Amino acid sequence: MQSEQRKKQIQAILSEREFVSLEALAREIGASPSTIRRDLIDLENTGLLQRTHGGARTVARETQDEFAFRNRLQRFEKEKAAIGQAAATLVETQQCVICDTGTTVYEAARRLESKMPQILTNSLPVANLYASSAGVELIVSGGVLYPRLGALVGPVAEKFFGQFNANLAIMGGDGVTADGIYNSHTLLIDIQRKMMDAAERVIFCLDSGKVGRRSVSRLCDLDRVDLLITDRKASPEILDSLRQRGLEVETV
């Protein structure tokens, strides 16, 4: 059997188990340990696995699923998509839009291509959306990458949003009550405030699971928000209480 074929087989085996011993590989593939070892060296050099004593293991990150957040997209998937769609229609051609991190904002961002917008973002997933599209001008804030979210955080990101002015900010969060908007990621809060300061109009996109909920950190009062978009499953009582506080609410 040829080297290419063997390497493919090794990768297939490693995609199922996390670790394989050299001995097991040699047995399963039917080649000598020396040969397998050489294959492993090659595969390690191309970054496809990690060699260990006695075998090999998968390299830590899964190159397939870019972001852990992709998985979270499952919950309220349809609702998030509808909210995103509604937010995207509020953007006019060639406007400058700030896009926050989070799945719902991501759903909005991916529907903006036809508007030829200028997008300011600290979200790596959003940046990747338009990485090979010439129609959208995408400006990425700098910052330290916060792995779980794919968000750029820290002083560099914060300063970035202090420099610009935008027509619109499409924001996300983890909860909203009559007391204000909440977010569980404390690192993001200061950046989100700067985003809101920089935008003429602030829109929050929160699925119904977040309406009426609080989270660790309070981001802002409701009067800092121009529009909340959520879905029809949200409790009407709570939405009423928000409207009474002067917040414009749209349900989709």
Binding site for DNA (CB under 7 A): 1-3, 6, 21-23, 31-35, 37-39, 41, 51-55
Find the distance separating the first CA and the last CA of the chain, reported in whole Å.
58
How many other C-beta atoms can be found within 10 angstroms of the C-beta atom of residue 63? 8
Nearer to DNA, 7 or 194 (CB): 7
Parallel, antiparallel or unpaired: strands 96-99 and 118-121: parallel
Six-digit token string for 171: 């924001």
Calpha distance 195→121 (Å, rounded):
9
Nearer to DNA, 52 or 85 (CB): 52
Q: Which does 9 bind (CB under 5 to 8 A by kind): a copy of itself, DNA, none?
A: none
Q: Which does 134 bind (CB under 5 to 8 A by kind): a copy of itself, DNA, none?
A: a copy of itself
Could you identify the residue written with the tokens 């998968």? 58
Inter-residue contact 131 to 110 (CB < 8 Å) = no
Q: What is the dihedral of CA 203, 209, 213, 217, to 10 degrees?
A: -60
Q: Which does 33 bind (CB under 5 to 8 A by kind): DNA, a copy of itself, none?
A: DNA
Q: Which does 209 bind (CB under 5 to 8 A by kind): a copy of itself, DNA, none?
A: none
The reply to whether 68 sits near a copy of itself by the rule CB under 8 A is yes
Q: How far apart are CB 63 and a copy of itself at their closest, in Å?
A: 6
Let me know if 86 is exposed, middle or buried by CB neighbors in 10 A (0-12, 13-18, 19+): buried
Nearer to DNA, 55 or 175 (CB): 55
Inter-residue contact 53 to 20 (CB < 8 Å) = no
> Restricting to residues 124-163, which ones interact with a copy of itself according to CB under 8 A?
124, 127-128, 130-135, 137-145, 147-148, 150, 152, 154, 156-157, 160
The contacts of residue 127 (CB under 8 Å, 6+ apart) are 121, 138, 140
The reply to whether 12 sits near a copy of itself by the rule CB under 8 A is no
Nearer to a copy of itself, 68 or 216 (CB): 68
Q: How far apart are CB 39 and DNA at their closest, in Å?
A: 7
Inter-residue contact 120 to 164 (CB < 8 Å) = yes
The reply to whether 169 sits near a copy of itself by the rule CB under 8 A is no
Give the residues lining the site for a copy of itself (CB under 8 A).
Answer: 2-5, 8, 18-19, 21, 45-47, 50, 52-55, 57, 59-68, 81-82, 85, 110-111, 113-114, 124, 127-128, 130-135, 137-145, 147-148, 150, 152, 154, 156-157, 160
